[in-house]
Amino acid sequence: MTQREGNKPDPLVERLAADYGEDLLRYISRRVRSSADSRDIAQESYVRLLRLERKDLIRDPMPYLYRIAANVLYEFELKRREELNGLLRWSAENRSQGMAAAATGGDAESLALQDRLESALRQLSPTCRAVLLLHRPSWHGTRMWSSCLLISG
């Protein structure tokens, strides 16, 4: 982790890793959920420090390392949110496609699932069915809507 090209150790990075490595890892760990992610972020912070050409211009290396780590944390969080938003969009698209297939008749498996759901809905109280409808706006105007209301559709 503290090696430069040619396997020559970088004294500044070695010193920072020895003196502040555990503290930096704790700082990062408080901000991410996974210990593996916190180790990756710490490693990326050291790598970015190693890439600097003129480390001799750094007046106070410890805050500089923490600033690098904060920047890496920010990038990590942006990437995580972007992946989460992509997953949510994908999930919503698949859910709406599945509802459209169920509403238009769909395949035999969808119909069997629809029948099982209608059977389960009949066992719910009217209040529970209404709550379910409120939490599933994608069902509005579909066969599921009428199933929840126990109207033949």
| Residues 35-60 pLDDT 10s | 899 999 999 999 999 998 888 888 99
Using the predicted structure, report yes or no on whether residue 101 has a pLDDT greater than 90: no
Task: DSSP for 35-70, please give it.
Answer: HHHHHHHHHHHHHHHHH-S-GGG-S-HHHHHHHHHH
Distance CA 29, CA 40 (A): 11
For residue 119, give the 3-state DSSP assignment. helix
* Partners of 9 in the β-ladder: 3
Q: Which residue's entry shows tokens 């180790």?
A: 39
Which domains are present in the chain? 5-88 (1.10.1740.10), 107-153 (no CATH)
Give the pLDDT band (50/70/90) at residue 65: very high
Tokens at 72, concatenated: 């890496």
Give the pLDDT band (50/70/90) at residue 152: very low
The mean per-residue pLDDT over the stretch 10-24 comes to 91
Rounded to two decimals, the pTM is 0.54
